[in-house]
Chain A
Amino acid sequence: MAIEKILKDDASEEKGERARMASFVGAIAITDLVKTTLGPKGMDKILQSTGRGHGVTVTNDGATILKSLHIDNPAAKVLIDISKVQDDEVGDGTTSVVVLAGELLREAEKLVAAKIHPMTIISGYRMAAECARNALLQRVVDNKENAEKFKSDLMKIAMTTLSSKILSQDKEHFAQLAVDAVMRLKGSTNLEAIQIIKKPGGSLMDSFLDEGFILDKKIGLGQPKRIENAKILVANTAMDTDKVKIYGARVRVDSMSKVAEIEGAEKEKMREKVQKIIAHGINCFVNRQLIYNFPEELFADAGVLAIEHADFDGIERLALVTGGEIASTFDNPESVKIGHCKLIEEIMIGEDKLIHFSGVEMGQACTIVLRGASHHVLDEAERSLHDALCVLSQTVNDTRVLLGGGWPEMVMAKEVDELARKTPGKKSHAIEAFSRALVAIPTIIADNAGLDSADLVAQLRAAHHKEGCNAGIDVISGSVGDMAELGISESFKVKQAVLLSATEAAEMILRVDEIITCAPRQREDRM
């Protein structure tokens, strides 16, 4: 008697060893893909989209690479997901987390081949992860009290983060930019307040941080190009035709003259609105929505600078920097808070005219203007800078700092190894494997830099045998160096997130013994 088919036609089912194999293979393939981007000498990838125009992205950012891949393997999807979460949560370490999870699985594969049950491996990994985290916790440096030192910590972290990106040539410049920008936020993690404007042309070194605010808009015709001691009203209101919002209202007239009358009334209404706005005693008006010619002309007559169609973020940011409120009704001029700034002027960056607000009251927001040779360079620069800003803003909240350059991995590996020796039972194999996976990260960094990884890592391991050692891989000189002297630092929060989510993901994939794939949904052919 034939065994009945249980699943639908195209659905497939993978069991036991085969399922495990499928997930290992998928996860390791993903790891190998992003592995080469790790570290200061990591290489970039070109991504070509399948959409119209086949747009090209050149990047080194793990999350960006993985996000753009179309993957069918379920285990690989788990890895992509952790990378995304890492990006959202701390912003950096997106490659490391995938590589670590992949290495953990690679080690687990060997253990499974040696007939150790996945559950045993998982419990070993858990113990090891806990131990590794404690090892890091013991070695963190916290310079919260000392503002001067903390700032230099931030600087080091920013430089370490940037050194693996396209900005590495000018990393000092950009690190300074990023630190300045983040310090202005005063502890908030709202990166929205930092505006990044990309303008092709010039070189990366020409990028600068502007203390004020730059709005990528033009000033209306016939209006003043330069205003000192500006009083700004930030608004979100319709300045085209003010619709009657009462439902069902419509205009119904029986003669041409009536039409003219109604039109006149409409104009009158708009004029009144403009009068009310001007009555606030302002000389600059920024609106989120369009401003039609008619009100614009009225503003120009009154000598008020009117800027239309600023994007939503721009409005929010402008309100933040100038200390005004976003207004939509104008009946009570005395109670609307109006923003102030010392100077509004039109400036030129490259070929484009921008509006520059300087001397603003609240210094929270700022603008970074990126310059570079091409769009691709600028996009990648923005991503790199974004990573640095994320890490810095997280570090400001959690001020614990570690050294970089493979140092944390070696510290963890040492402790985990120690634990393995103390643990009886099969778990100790898993714990040992965990430490091997940790060591794989400095190995990959060295490999990517074209160094003799076997030799370097062995040296590193020996150096770490001593208590309180600061040795890490100095990729530039190609030897083992003192990370504290070289000023290579990483944020504790990032490392912790890498460790925990990589272990969690590896655990999740290891627990699987069966993959059931449903029949893919049929796409309807649209002819």
Chain B
Amino acid sequence: MALAFDEYGRPFIILKEQDQKTRLRGIEAQKANISAGKAVARILRTSLGPKGMDKILQSPDGDVTITNDGATILEQMDVDNQIAKLMVELSRSQDYEIGDGTTGVVVMAGALLDQAERLLERGIHPIRIAEGYEMASRIAVEHLEHISKKFDFGATNIEPLVQTCMTTLSSKIVNRCKCHLAEISVKAVLSVADLDRKDVNLDMIKVEGKVGGKLEDTELIYGITVDKDMSHPQMPKQIEDAKIAILTCPFEPPKPKTKHKVDIDTVEKFQTLRLQEQKYFDDMVQKCKDAGATLVICQWGFDDEANHLLMHRNLPAVRWVGGVELELIAIATGGRIVPRFQELTPEKLGRAGLVREKSFGTTKDKMLYIEHCANSRAVTIFIRGGNKMMIEETKRSIHDALCVARNLIRNNSIVYGGGSAEISCSIAVEAAADKYPGVEQYAIRAFADALDSVPMALAENSGLQPIETLSEVKSQQIKENNPHYGIDCNDVGTNDMRQQDVFETLIGKQQQILLATQVVKMILKIDDVISPSDY
């Protein structure tokens, strides 16, 4: 480590405990950072595309996750390196913002870093590279807009949406029944979507999973499922035209927040207290009855006595329902969450056409279905599958598909997939590069090369000759001036992505390029890494 000396030859101490820290500077630091970023990208590279492979991740506690989703892999990878953490962040922000393309964004960033390394070796200043990238990304994003297509869909014509979701799902393990799942996702999104405001609240879609059965049994329920059963085993298992009281107060005597004591010093007091207690339980049940409720859903538990009283008065009840579920039930049934028995009125009750208890398998696994709700704006996707990991992976895949459908509702522009958009952008950026005077030109050209790496990875994963395939497709695009040619991953026999119906969302692609460029710019600007050494 470089030390500074004063005029008498004594070292200046600039950092605290300076000699115990490792420090990388200048070109060394940049190269180390780039190689870390590339290493992360390399891990994800093989997961890209419909023929991409999965990863097994074993958590510190020994739990196994098998996934193909870039964001999940990186999140669980237990990364230590600072730059690698930036890449993890990158994938996560793509996940939050778009929900899909989490692998692609990392691969893209890795390719950009790779190109930047070569430019650095030629002696181009990192800031100039960063600026060149910035310009190039602007060109690419504009070009994407240019080649994008709008398509129409409505509540009746969902086919285009389903096609796009299928593209997303085809890279996951669930591609066996992607058609079925894509349809479910689209229907779910459409039923909660506000088409006028172009807004979708994905919180309204609950994704539940239960092991057993097969993937094809996955279904969309227009209503809510709760992983609970009736509080008393002898309560009816099926209620039609239910009027639901949604309570957040327990069926128990009140517990005032202020500290208090009730002193019993005479027999009379003891007895009055007893009577009061009985009356209290009676009152609570009576109030629910009076409001006209035929089902009580309570956030808290209730006492044996209250339980029996409810049963006795023929008022089925469910206890210990979680807060989130309670809210969803309230939304779905159009009821209000009532925090006090006194405030329970008939208007505040939720309505559902059918509430039923369904049991699964040989163990007594029961779930409560609340269906035909007054307001069908909350739905549940119920996933079945052979094992736990399958269910988890399906949940993640469905989440991706839901996000894609939502993005399409927000903005119905699409670009064609299979690497065709990247290739087209690469051609456009390459062509634009020559117009820029100055060193940035090189960076812009490098950006074009980096764009090629996504289709290249696709081809590689599909077992095709990457360079041959890519150059062929590229020349085809230029020759016919048609941005729809991509990599034929599934060996269908045509390069035209329009015929293969492989779509991706425009905002997803744009976001990928923008995010990747930003992170790469950030990494390039670092020229000094100071880290405490191990002790």
Residues of A with Cβ closer than 8 Å to B? 1, 3-9, 11, 13, 19, 23, 72, 74-75, 77-78, 81-82, 85, 87-91, 117-119, 126, 189-192, 236-238, 244-254, 258, 261-262, 264-266, 269, 316, 319, 325-329, 331-332, 335-336, 390, 393-394, 500-501, 504-505, 507-508, 511-521
A89-B212, A89-B213, A247-B254 known; A118-B304 Cβ under 8 A: no
Across the two chains, which residue of chain B brings its CB closest to A332? B312
A328-B304, A500-B386, A504-B387 known; A6-B40 Cβ under 8 A: yes
How far is A316 from B232 in the complex, measured between Cα atoms in Å? Answer: 10
B463 / chain A contacts, CB cutoff of 8 Å: 117, 119
A521 / chain B contacts, CB cutoff of 8 Å: 60-61
How far is A1 from B26 in the complex, measured between Cα atoms in Å? Answer: 14
Interface: B68 (CB within 8 A): yes
A336 / chain B contacts, CB cutoff of 8 Å: 312
12 extra interchain contacts, Cβ-Cβ under 8 A, other than A4-B84, A514-B56? A247-B256, A252-B265, A253-B265, A326-B234, A328-B308, A335-B312, A505-B387, A512-B54, A514-B43, A518-B76, A518-B78, A520-B60
How far is A516 from B73 in the complex, measured between Cα atoms in Å? Answer: 9
Interface: B214 (CB within 8 A): yes
Smallest CB-CB A-B distances: 9 pairs: A328-B308, A501-B386, A513-B53, A89-B212, A521-B60, A504-B386, A511-B54, A518-B78, A517-B58
A72 B62 Cβ-Cβ under 8 A: yes
A1-B32, A244-B273, A328-B309 known; A192-B364 Cβ under 8 A: yes
A7-B80, A89-B362 known; A508-B266 Cβ under 8 A: no
B263 A252 Cβ-Cβ under 8 A: yes
Q: How far is the CB of B250 from chain A (nearest CB, A)?
A: 11
B84 / chain A contacts, CB cutoff of 8 Å: 4, 6
A325 B311 Cβ-Cβ under 8 A: yes
How far is A316 from B235 in the complex, measured between Cα atoms in Å? Answer: 12
Q: Which of A326, A328, A512, A520 has the most CB of B within 10 A?
A: A328
Across the two chains, which residue of chain B brings its CB closest to A118? B53
Pick from A3, A78, A249, A325: contact of B389, CB below 8 A.
A78
Q: Which of B35, B78, B277, B365 has the most CB of A within 10 A?
A: B78
Main secondary structure of the interface of B (DSSP, over half): mixed
A251 / chain B contacts, CB cutoff of 8 Å: 263-265, 270
A85-B211, A504-B386 known; A6-B60 Cβ under 8 A: no
How far is A252 from B266 in the complex, measured between Cα atoms in Å? Answer: 9
A328 B307 Cβ-Cβ under 8 A: yes
Interface: B388 (CB within 8 A): yes
A89-B362, A258-B265 known; A7-B78 Cβ under 8 A: yes
A6 B81 Cβ-Cβ under 8 A: yes
A4 B267 Cβ-Cβ under 8 A: no
How far is A505 from B56 in the complex, measured between Cα atoms in Å? Answer: 13
A91-B362, A518-B76 known; A504-B385 Cβ under 8 A: yes
Across the two chains, which residue of chain B brings its CB closest to A504? B386
Interface: B340 (CB within 8 A): no
B264 A252 Cβ-Cβ under 8 A: yes
B361 / chain A contacts, CB cutoff of 8 Å: 88-90, 189
A192 / chain B contacts, CB cutoff of 8 Å: 364
How far is A89 from B234 in the complex, measured between Cα atoms in Å? Answer: 25
A261 B267 Cβ-Cβ under 8 A: yes
Q: How far is the CB of A313 from chain B (nearest CB, A)?
A: 10
A516 B57 Cβ-Cβ under 8 A: yes
A511 / chain B contacts, CB cutoff of 8 Å: 53-54, 66, 68, 173
B303 / chain A contacts, CB cutoff of 8 Å: 245
B252 / chain A contacts, CB cutoff of 8 Å: 245
Write the B466-479 contact mask toward A (1 if CB under 8 angstroms, else 0): 00000000000000
B522 / chain A contacts, CB cutoff of 8 Å: none
A393-B362, A508-B389 known; A250-B261 Cβ under 8 A: yes
20 A–B pairs (Cβ distance < 8 Å), ordered by A: A4-B84, A6-B80, A8-B78, A78-B387, A85-B387, A90-B361, A90-B362, A244-B264, A244-B273, A245-B253, A246-B253, A251-B264, A253-B265, A501-B387, A505-B387, A508-B66, A513-B53, A518-B57, A518-B59, A518-B77
Q: How far is the CB of A254 from chain B (nearest CB, A)?
A: 7
How far is A519 from B304 in the complex, measured between Cα atoms in Å? Answer: 47
A258 / chain B contacts, CB cutoff of 8 Å: 265-266
A508 B390 Cβ-Cβ under 8 A: yes
Interface: B20 (CB within 8 A): no
How far is A191 from B66 in the complex, measured between Cα atoms in Å? Answer: 33
Across the two chains, which residue of chain B brings its CB closest to A81? B387
Pick from B255, B270, B365: contact of A247, CB below 8 A.
B255
B265 A81 Cβ-Cβ under 8 A: no
How far is A215 from B78 in the complex, measured between Cα atoms in Å? Answer: 53
Across the two chains, which residue of chain B brings its CB closest to A244? B273
Pick from A250, A269, A326: contact of B232, CB below 8 A.
A326
A246-B273, A254-B265, A504-B387 known; A88-B363 Cβ under 8 A: yes
Write the B46-89 contact mask toward A (1 if CB under 8 angstroms, else 0): 10000101111111111010101000010011111101100000
A515 B270 Cβ-Cβ under 8 A: no
A264 B267 Cβ-Cβ under 8 A: yes
Pick from B79, B273, B274: contact of A6, CB below 8 A.
B79
A189 B304 Cβ-Cβ under 8 A: no
Pick from A91, A331, A519: contact of B60, CB below 8 A.
A519
Q: How far is the CB of A98 from chain B (nearest CB, A)?
A: 12
How far is A237 from B362 in the complex, measured between Cα atoms in Å? Answer: 30
* B:198-223 near A, CB below 8 Å: 211-215
Across the two chains, which residue of chain A brings its CB closest to B61? A521
Pick from B40, B46, B58, B266: contact of A518, CB below 8 A.
B58
Pick from A190, A236, A319, A512: contact of B53, CB below 8 A.
A512
A262 B176 Cβ-Cβ under 8 A: no
A253-B265, A325-B234, A514-B55 known; A3-B64 Cβ under 8 A: no
Across the two chains, which residue of chain B brings its CB closest to A253? B265
A248 / chain B contacts, CB cutoff of 8 Å: 256, 259-262
A6 B28 Cβ-Cβ under 8 A: no
A327 B35 Cβ-Cβ under 8 A: no
B56 A516 Cβ-Cβ under 8 A: yes
B304 A8 Cβ-Cβ under 8 A: no
Write the B105-126 contact mask toward A (1 if CB under 8 angstroms, else 0): 0000000000000000000000
A78 B66 Cβ-Cβ under 8 A: yes
How far is A327 from B385 in the complex, measured between Cα atoms in Å? Answer: 40
B388 / chain A contacts, CB cutoff of 8 Å: 81, 85
Q: How far is the CB of A315 from chain B (nearest CB, A)?
A: 9
How far is A190 from B365 in the complex, measured between Cα atoms in Å? Answer: 10
Q: How far is the CB of A104 from chain B (nearest CB, A)?
A: 13
B308 / chain A contacts, CB cutoff of 8 Å: 236, 326-329
Q: How far is the CB of B198 from chain A (nearest CB, A)?
A: 36
Interface: B482 (CB within 8 A): no
How far is A191 from B265 in the complex, measured between Cα atoms in Å? Answer: 51
Pick from B66, B76, B280: contact of A512, CB below 8 A.
B66
How far is A192 from B43 in the complex, measured between Cα atoms in Å? Answer: 49
Across the two chains, which residue of chain B brings its CB closest to A9? B80
A327 / chain B contacts, CB cutoff of 8 Å: 308, 312
Pick from B28, B60, B270: contact of A262, CB below 8 A.
B270
Interface: B36 (CB within 8 A): yes
How far is A118 from B461 in the complex, measured between Cα atoms in Å? Answer: 11
Q: How far is the CB of B57 from chain A (nearest CB, A)?
A: 5
Interface: B238 (CB within 8 A): no
Interface: B336 (CB within 8 A): no
Q: How far is the CB of A97 from chain B (nearest CB, A)?
A: 9
A74 / chain B contacts, CB cutoff of 8 Å: 56, 58, 64, 66
B262 A249 Cβ-Cβ under 8 A: yes
A89-B362, A521-B61 known; A3-B390 Cβ under 8 A: no
B9 / chain A contacts, CB cutoff of 8 Å: none
How far is A191 from B57 in the complex, measured between Cα atoms in Å? Answer: 37
A261 B266 Cβ-Cβ under 8 A: yes
A249 B264 Cβ-Cβ under 8 A: yes
B465 / chain A contacts, CB cutoff of 8 Å: none
B304 A88 Cβ-Cβ under 8 A: no
A6 B36 Cβ-Cβ under 8 A: yes
